[in-house]
């Protein structure tokens, strides 16, 4: 820079007020699950940093006049901010726990549907998956197995089993009938004494609650 040349003043970005409402609440919700790995203030700052790069988009979304559309847009922004914050904290967890990012395995609903029959079968038969896991020497780091280390199948089954047993009994029953007993929706509806559409919704919601206990959907898309 030539002597005497003046520096251009830094541009201060004025964020939409909704950002300062959403960022702390999103950070609080995520910090409850990842408090051993990252500070809540750091999550809040990550949320704000995400919003800075999308300030025009957020301002546009929050400038609509229709109350219902405005509420919908606010929920969408909060969801997107949460996904960004989850990517950040999961990377932080992976780094601090000695994992590589590719070691993080997340449970899609299709995968859960495929593995649940084996998980529930182990519960019914009394098979102790945890003891079998101790016999495996695959060189992967040990500790918390959620998400499962490196996508290891046995570790995945153990994770799903643990989460399944933490579900309410009604969720366990719905998942067992649907994914282990191979019951039809009509049979499940008859057992639960409800409409077929209600039985379908219960099975879907039970699977989603199981997925949430396992960390939710993958943020790496």
Per the structure, the complete domain to which residue 177 belongs is given by 106-213
Query: For position 165, what pLDDT does the model report?
Result: 93
Tell me whether residue 180 is in a domain: yes
Do residues 203 and 188 lie in contact, with contact meaning Cβ atoms separated by under 8 Å?
yes
Q: Are 132 and 185 in a shared domain? A: yes
- Show the CA angle centred on residue 216, arms to residues 195 and 69, nearest 5°: 70
Tell me whether residue 1 is in a domain: no
User: Which of the 8 DSSP states describes residue 12?
Assistant: P
Q: Are 187 and 127 in a shared domain? A: yes
Q: Are 64 and 148 in a shared domain? A: no
Q: Which of 41, 59, 94 is the last residue of a domain?
A: 94
Q: Are 159 and 209 in a shared domain? A: yes
Tell me whether residue 7 is in a domain: no
Which CATH number fits the domain that encloses residue 118?
A: 1.10.10.10
Q: Are 163 and 119 in a shared domain? A: yes
pLDDT tens for the chain, 221 residues: list them.
444 444 444 345 688 999 999 999 999 999 988 888 889 999 999 999 999 988 888 999 999 999 999 999 999 999 999 988 988 888 887 677 654 444 445 677 778 888 898 889 888 888 766 555 444 444 443 444 444 444 467 777 888 888 899 999 999 999 999 999 989 999 999 998 999 999 999 999 999 899 888 876 554 44
Q: Are 58 and 130 in a shared domain? A: no
Q: Which of 52, 67, 94 is the last residue of a domain?
A: 94
Tell me whether residue 184 is in a domain: yes
Q: Are 53 and 31 in a shared domain? A: yes
Q: Which of 29, 64, 94 is the last residue of a domain?
A: 94
Tell me whether residue 99 is in a domain: no
Q: Are 159 and 134 in a shared domain? A: yes
* Cα–Cα distance list, 214 to 9, 67, 144, 162, 164 (Å): 47, 35, 12, 9, 9
Tell me whether residue 6 is in a domain: no
Q: Are 177 and 146 in a shared domain? A: yes
Q: Are 78 and 113 in a shared domain? A: no
Query: For position 152, what pLDDT does the model report?
Result: 61
Is the pTM of the predicted complex or chain greater than 0.75?
no
Half-sphere exposure of 204 (CA within 13 A, CB side): 7
Tell me whether residue 4 is in a domain: no
Q: Are 87 and 112 in a shared domain? A: no
Q: How many domains does the chain have?
A: 2
Q: Are 158 and 78 in a shared domain? A: no
Tell me whether residue 123 is in a domain: yes
CA dist 63 and 46 (Å) reads 24
* Cα–Cα distance list, 83 to 32, 75, 97, 173, 203 (Å): 15, 12, 21, 31, 25
């Amino acid at each position: 820079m030539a002597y005497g040349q003046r520096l251009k003043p830094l541009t201060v970005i004025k964020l939409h007020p909704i950002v300062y409402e959403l960022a702390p609440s999103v950070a609080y919700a995520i910090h409850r699950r990842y408090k051993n790995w990252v500070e809540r203030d750091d999550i809040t700052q990550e949320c704000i940093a995400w919003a800075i790069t999308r300030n025009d988009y957020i301002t546009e979304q929050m400038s609509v006049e229709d109350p219902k559309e405005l509420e919908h847009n606010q929920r969408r922004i909060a969801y997107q901010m949460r996904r960004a914050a989850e990517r950040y904290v999961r990377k932080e967890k992976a780094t601090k726990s000695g994992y590589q990012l590719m070691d993080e395995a997340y449970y899609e609903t299709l995968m859960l549907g495929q593995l649940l029959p084996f998980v529930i079968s182990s519960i019914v038969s009394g098979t102790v998956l945890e003891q079998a896991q101790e016999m495996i020497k695959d060189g992967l780091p040990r500790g918390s197995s959620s998400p499962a280390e490196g996508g290891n199948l046995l570790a995945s089954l153990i994770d799903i089993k643990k989460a399944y047993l933490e579900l309410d009994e009604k969720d366990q029953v719905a998942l067992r009938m649907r994914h282990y007993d191979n019951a039809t929706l009509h049979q499940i509806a008859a057992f639960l004494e409800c409409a077929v559409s209600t039985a379908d919704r219960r099975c879907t919601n039970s699977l989603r609650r199981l997925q949430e206990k396992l960390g939710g959907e993958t943020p790496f898309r």
